[in-house]
């Protein structure tokens, strides 16, 4: 952002007015004073704690500020349960970022009980940034009914020859794009599929696809956090354990803190970094965005990253569920009934 010369586009689910939030605001105000245009889009539910003064001061400095849902009459046609869960930044139409990181101090390393925060974000340069910019523009138009004048000229590849697909998904799609993405990854995996997701509350078709993959010999690994910011989600994950273990699906709990990354690795063919979790909310209720990369160096880097993460995990067994009290198991099964809303 400090190097932007024309415009800055931001879109985040959670924005806080803490140290990092104030630092971001200071940078934006400085760039506005230099003549750089700023468009600032946030989700009104995810950022419910953001003070009005934060937004007012940005607007006074010249930023265009909009909420994805607040004040938009068209929102009434949608359920209040829908969220804009995307986290992206575009500078000058040349550099973009997408992944699991929101704007808050905890994303820099402070999480539940002051333990480390584990997340993954992806920097994109070159022509693929246009995909991020287009997703942002559609969301901005939804929130404000405006089409800002942006740079759409094709960008030369900065370095490397990676092929990148930017995939926005959401409840306004003709198809259940996010569900189809995960099903395609699982069904096409030949040797392995590793998925890192902080929230593991899949529906029956995802569970069946994972079971079929494992039964045909695919190395299926699901990495979730040991400690969760949602007790209901943590309990629901236990209810899948017996099904998963019997089919050969490995469920690994990340130990050193709260793991928030959303990463998929399929064979040695492609990897994805984005905002979508392995739960019903991401599949059907949230607006998400995923960057899918097929280049060998990127896939190898994700392989190394996830292998390191897995070395800090504990693999769960059926005993983690069967060995608990009957009340605990009944609670897990009861919570699983809420899976469509978690």
Q: Which residues are catalytic?
A: 85, 87, 92, 260, 262, 267
Q: Is residue 227 within 8 Å of residue 306, measured between CB atoms?
A: no
DSSP conformational letter for 103: B
CA atoms within 13 A on the CB side of 65: 20
Nearest to 217 by CA among 233, 252, 193, 198: 193
- Give the Cα separation of 232 and 342 in Å (integer): 8
Segments in the chain forming alpha helices (H): 19-33, 52-60, 129-144, 177-188, 204-215, 231-238, 241-247, 280, 296-310, 319-322, 326-336
Angle at CA of residue 249, ends 260 and 251, nearest 5°: 35
Query: What would you measure as the largest C-alpha separation in the chain, in angstroms?
Result: 64
339/195 Cα distance (integer angstroms): 19
User: Strand 95-99 and strand 121-125: pairing?
Assistant: antiparallel
Report how far residue 67's alpha carbon sits from residue 186's, in angstroms, rounded to the nearest whole number: 35
Angle of CA points 114, 16, 106, to nearest 5°: 20
Nearest to 22, CA basis, from 62, 57, 70: 57
Token pair of 299 as six digits = 């896939």
SS (H, E, C) 8-27: EEEEECCECCCHHHHHHHHH
Give the dihedral of Cα atoms 107, 63, 92, 19; nearest 10 deg: -20
């Amino acid at each position: 952002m400090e190097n932007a010369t024309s415009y800055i586009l931001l879109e985040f689910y959670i924005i806080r007015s803490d140290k990092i939030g104030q630092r971001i605001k200071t940078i934006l105000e400085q760039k506005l004073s230099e003549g750089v245009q700023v468009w600032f889009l946030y989700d009104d539910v995810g950022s419910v704690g953001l003070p009005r003064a934060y937004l007012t001061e940005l607007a006074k400095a010249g930023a265009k500020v909009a909420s994805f849902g607040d004040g938009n009459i068209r929102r009434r046609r949608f359920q209040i349960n829908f969220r804009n869960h995307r986290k992206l930044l575009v500078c000058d139409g040349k550099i973009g970022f997408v992944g699991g990181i929101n704007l808050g101090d905890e994303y820099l390393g402070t999480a539940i009980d002051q333990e480390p925060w584990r997340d993954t974000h992806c920097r994109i340069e070159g022509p693929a940034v246009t995909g991020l910019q287009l997703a942002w523009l559609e969301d901005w138009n939804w929130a404000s009914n405006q089409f800002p004048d942006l740079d759409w000229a094709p960008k030369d590849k900065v370095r490397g020859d990676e092929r990148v697909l930017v995939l926005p998904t959401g409840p306004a799609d003709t198809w259940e794009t996010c569900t189809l993405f995960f099903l395609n990854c699982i069904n096409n995996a030949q040797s392995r599929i590793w998925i890192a997701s902080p929230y593991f509350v899949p529906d029956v078709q995802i569970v069946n696809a994972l079971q079929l993959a494992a039964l045909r010999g695919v190395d299926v690994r699901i990495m979730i956090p040991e400690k969760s910011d949602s007790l209901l989600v943590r309990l629901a994950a236990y209810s899948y354990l017996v099904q998963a273990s019997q089919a050969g699906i490995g469920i690994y709990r990340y130990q050193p803190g709260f793991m928030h990354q959303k990463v998929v690795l399929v064979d040695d063919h492609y990897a994805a970094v984005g905002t979508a979790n392995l739960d019903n909310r991401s599949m059907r209720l949230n607006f998400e965005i995923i960057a899918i990369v097929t280049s060998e160096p990127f896939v190898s880097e994700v392989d190394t990253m996830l292998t390191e993460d897995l070395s800090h995990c504990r693999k769960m067994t059926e005993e983690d569920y069967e060995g608990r009290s009957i009340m605990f198991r009944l609670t897990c099964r009861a919570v699983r009934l809420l899976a469509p809303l978690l």
